[in-house]
Amino acid sequence: MDPDRLHAVIIEEIANRRAEVVAIDDRLASLTDRVIDFVSNGGKRIRPEFLWCGWLAAGGRPGPSDDLPDGLPDRRHDDTPVLQVAAALELIQACALIHDDVIDRSERRRGAPSTHRAVAKEHADAGLSGDSEHYGLSAAVLLGDLALAWADDLYTAGAHALDAVGRSQPVWRAMRTEVLAGQLLDLATAARTAAAPAEQAADAMRVNRFKTAAYTVERPLHLGAALAGAGATTIGALRTYGADIGVAFQLRDDLLGVYGDPAVTGKPAGDDLLEGKRTLLLATARAALRSDPDLLAELDAGIGNPRAPVQRLASIIAATGAPQQMERRIDELVASGLNALDTLEEDGRPAVAAPARARLTELAGIVTDRRR
Amino acid sequence: MDPDRLHAVIIEEIANRRAEVVAIDDRLASLTDRVIDFVSNGGKRIRPEFLWCGWLAAGGRPGPSDDLPDGLPDRRHDDTPVLQVAAALELIQACALIHDDVIDRSERRRGAPSTHRAVAKEHADAGLSGDSEHYGLSAAVLLGDLALAWADDLYTAGAHALDAVGRSQPVWRAMRTEVLAGQLLDLATAARTAAAPAEQAADAMRVNRFKTAAYTVERPLHLGAALAGAGATTIGALRTYGADIGVAFQLRDDLLGVYGDPAVTGKPAGDDLLEGKRTLLLATARAALRSDPDLLAELDAGIGNPRAPVQRLASIIAATGAPQQMERRIDELVASGLNALDTLEEDGRPAVAAPARARLTELAGIVTDRRR
């Protein structure tokens, strides 16, 4: 995928959406620009990359449409609508992060104040009436909604242009239901701190499966493939790869959340411990500590406590061997995910077209890389 | 519109959506049922009614599809997909109200605890860990998102079945952008209490135009008409009616929010005054009191104060003549809205088909009725 073309499509589409809001009232420009800036400046564009690979895997060809013999454009091979759907994924992500930051009470995001914090500060600085915090929260809820609505508009525009609404809408629907169900599950299971370690591990894996893997890798690939009219074997191979690499991506993220270099991750050292994130890493360490109630109690007392000694907690977890277990799990998942790309269809034809296979192999390394 | 058929479509569609969530994790059933109950039990179904009228106005016929001469179903005349889009409007409304209640910190909705309050109570009663209030708020944000995502799924399913995505999606898009922009504008202007009365009146009218009129009447009509493939004259007549009746509906709501009978409105007496709602009624009263600074100060001190003497505030407003001005404005808007229904197309054919005109005349009375 050409990142500059994606960027150009994103910029053009959100400029149109912004114009529609400003036409209603130009005083909404600065609030709307919170979404605009979020989408135009931030993010690694991982989901668009996977969408694009899914489309290539199923025979999509980059570039403008060719004409069919009857003189009509061959819309299956026009890539601008594919980039519109890719832009839609970035808008879904904007909604998810803006609302997540409200839910997690996060102060910062991508090196800047989170949306609700930035709007609260704007309110306070302007000396407006009412509670600045609640104003910021309220605006963030509505701006996330706006991003979600725009995401749907962009998906529908792209899919309709490709004559692909019928075959791709079930995937789009599943992806959004899955990520929201995953977030609800994350919320609900985090409130059950008294659960047994084995249950916590199962919960963490289920959240990883839906909140991360399905939403970040599996469904974007599936959606791209559906836009290109893929068959069941291609979709099956891509979904297996996506579920495995997606979970591996989350397990790597969990390790980085405890042992990552703040200079690389952009987050404080041990951030996941301070936030009290219920990861598989933590559940695995807690299971190993059942025979050492004192150490388990020390760990549990520190998790989610913003003033906890994170280095000490990190070394308690390390001593259980849980990080090594996670590394092995990542390796296994990457191997099984890449293996799925070798699925064959009839007559020895690969289910996943060659250019997509090469890029997906590369991406598996990138998203699970330990220095990321 | 047959309300029982609409109800049946709503029940079937949300049961399918619920099943998708519960398949991910059955512990999400009770949270998901907050949305399900909200949509299946509540509301006056005003937006579906207007959508249906728009569709009838443009030649839609109730009942199952007829076959065309070539044996294919005439999908323009199959009404089940129209009811799916109507159900989508109810889901948009669920998102709007669930998120509005978070923003307005409302305790109750439709005679029951608001979603965030109900979930907070569930959290506290179950003795779960963490802050119950914030848990309720977080779940309400995500459940509103789920309703918004499902709304889009239902709209797309209905519009696609009618082969109407191309002609109706711009309307669907505009409606969602308008209601969210209207809500943002409501939030932003409410924080500007120091604004001059004339500016407040203009702001209130703009919020009425987008947050209420476009979203409740004008765009549902327009959307229904677009589904049926309406021409520009029909759409123009419906939109004029919709904008006028929609604003009149809000002005009536504003009067009921101050002078309504709690037994009928289901809200406490003078609820809008206690909440500090910035209505056109209030802006008009404030403008009239410019010559009486003491009374204006007394009014301003009471607005938004939950312990204010509402009867006294209501009588200050009444003495300015503002309620009578609102009544006149409502009458004018209803007259001009109904007048738009008489628009003719070529050869003396009415732009709005007869069955729709009759029902729209009736609905104009119902939604602006003083006893509602």
Q: Do B138 and A25 touch (CB under 8 A)?
A: no
Question: pLDDT digits over B336-367, tens only?
Answer: 999 999 999 988 999 999 999 999 999 999 99
Q: Which residue among A130, A166, A191 sits closest to B160, beta carbon to beta carbon? A: A166
Which residues in chain A touch residue B149, judged by CB atoms under 8 angstroms apart? 148, 152, 173, 176-177, 180
**pTM summary value:** 0.94
| Average pLDDT over every residue of A74-80 | 67
Q: Do A192 and B128 touch (CB under 8 A)?
A: yes
Could you give the angle at the alpha carbon of A149 between the alpha carbons of A148 and A153, nearest 5°? Answer: 115
Q: Do B138 and A187 touch (CB under 8 A)?
A: yes
* Least confident segment among A51-65, A219-233, B212-226: A51-65
Strand B108-109 and strand A112-113: pairing? unpaired
Chain centroid to CA B92? 9
Average pLDDT over chain A, rounded to an integer: 93
Give the number of other Cβ atoms within 10 Å of residue B125's Cβ. Answer: 9
Question: pLDDT digits over A221-270, tens only?
Answer: 999 999 999 999 999 999 999 999 999 999 999 999 999 988 887 777 88
Query: How many H helices and E strands in chain A?
Result: 17, 2
pLDDT the model gives residue A159: 97
- Tell me the torsion sign for CA atoms A360, A362, A367, A370: positive
- Among A277, A359, A290, A282, residue whose Cα is nearest residue A326: A282
Name the strand (E) or helix (H) holding B240: helix B232-259
pLDDT band for A214, please (50, 70, 90 cuts): very high
Selected for mutation to probe chain A from B148, B155, B209 (highest A CB count within 10 Å) is: B148
Place of tokens 């998708």: B20
Which residues in chain A touch residue B153, judged by CB atoms under 8 angstroms apart? 169, 172-173, 176
- Tell me the torsion sign for CA atoms A195, A196, A202, A205: positive
Please give the full DSSP string across A246-295, using - where no structure is assigned: HHHHHHHHHHHHHH--HHHHSS-TTHHHHHT---HHHHHHHHHGGG-HHH
Which residues in chain A touch residue B275, judged by CB atoms under 8 angstroms apart? none
| Average pLDDT over every residue of B151-167 | 96
pLDDT the model gives residue B74: 57
pLDDT the model gives residue B67: 60
- Among B160, B167, B331, B130, residue whose Cα is nearest residue A159: B160
Is a pLDDT exceeding 70 seen at residue A141? yes
pLDDT the model gives residue A162: 94
pLDDT band for A77, please (50, 70, 90 cuts): low
* Residue B69, Cβ density class (10 Å: 0-12 exposed, 13-18 middle, ≥19 buried): exposed
Place of tokens 């998810």: A96
pLDDT the model gives residue A65: 58
| The token pair that represents B301 in the structure block | 């001190």
Chain B nearest C-alpha distance from A355 (Å): 32
Question: pLDDT digits over B297-319, tens only?
Answer: 999 999 988 899 999 999 999 99
Question: pLDDT digits over A338-356, tens only?
Answer: 999 999 998 899 999 999 9
Q: Which residue among A138, A145, A165 sits closest to B180, beta carbon to beta carbon? A: A145
Q: Do B187 and A99 touch (CB under 8 A)?
A: no
Q: ipTM of this complex > 0.90?
A: yes
Q: Are B112 and B118 in contact (CB under 8 A)?
A: yes
Place of tokens 């690499």: A245
Chain B nearest C-alpha distance from A356 (Å): 29
Selected for mutation to probe chain B from A28, A98, A152 (highest B CB count within 10 Å) is: A152
For the CA atoms of chain B, what is the radius of gyration? Answer: 22
Who contacts B30 (Cβ-Cβ below 8 Å, separation ≥6)?
A: B122
| The token pair that represents B26 in the structure block | 């059955």
Chain B nearest C-alpha distance from A166 (Å): 7
| Average pLDDT over every residue of A97-105 | 95
| The token pair that represents A24 in the structure block | 């209603």
Average pLDDT over chain B, rounded to an integer: 93
pLDDT the model gives residue A70: 66
Is a pLDDT exceeding 80 seen at residue B75? no
Name the strand (E) or helix (H) holding B112: strand B112-113
Nearest chain B alpha carbon to A165: B160
Q: Which residue among B134, B137, B169 sits closest to A156, beta carbon to beta carbon? A: B169
pLDDT the model gives residue B205: 96
Question: pLDDT digits over B120-146, tens only?
Answer: 999 999 999 899 999 999 999 999 999
pLDDT the model gives residue B71: 63
- Among B19, B149, B144, residue whose Cα is nearest residue B94: B144
Question: pLDDT digits over B246-292, tens only?
Answer: 999 999 999 999 999 888 877 778 889 988 899 999 999 999 999 99
Scored b (16 or more CB within 10 A) or e, B106-118 reads beebeeebbbbbb
Q: Are A69 and A240 in contact (CB under 8 A)?
A: no
Is a pLDDT exceeding 80 seen at residue B175? yes
Place of tokens 């409200």: A102
Selected for mutation to probe chain A from B24, B133, B146, B277 (highest A CB count within 10 Å) is: B24
pLDDT band for A197, please (50, 70, 90 cuts): confident
pLDDT the model gives residue A235: 98
Please state, for a pLDDT cut of 70, what percent of chain B lies above it.
Answer: 96
Higher-confidence residue of B58 and A109: namely B58
* Least confident segment among A359-363, B75-79, B285-289: B75-79
pLDDT band for A110, please (50, 70, 90 cuts): confident
Q: Which residue among B129, B146, B193 sits closest to A180, beta carbon to beta carbon? A: B146
Q: Which residue among B28, B130, B134 sits closest to A181, beta carbon to beta carbon? A: B28
Scored b (16 or more CB within 10 A) or e, A227-255 reads bbbbeebbbebbbbbbbbbbbbbbbbbbb
Is a pLDDT exceeding 90 seen at residue A131? yes
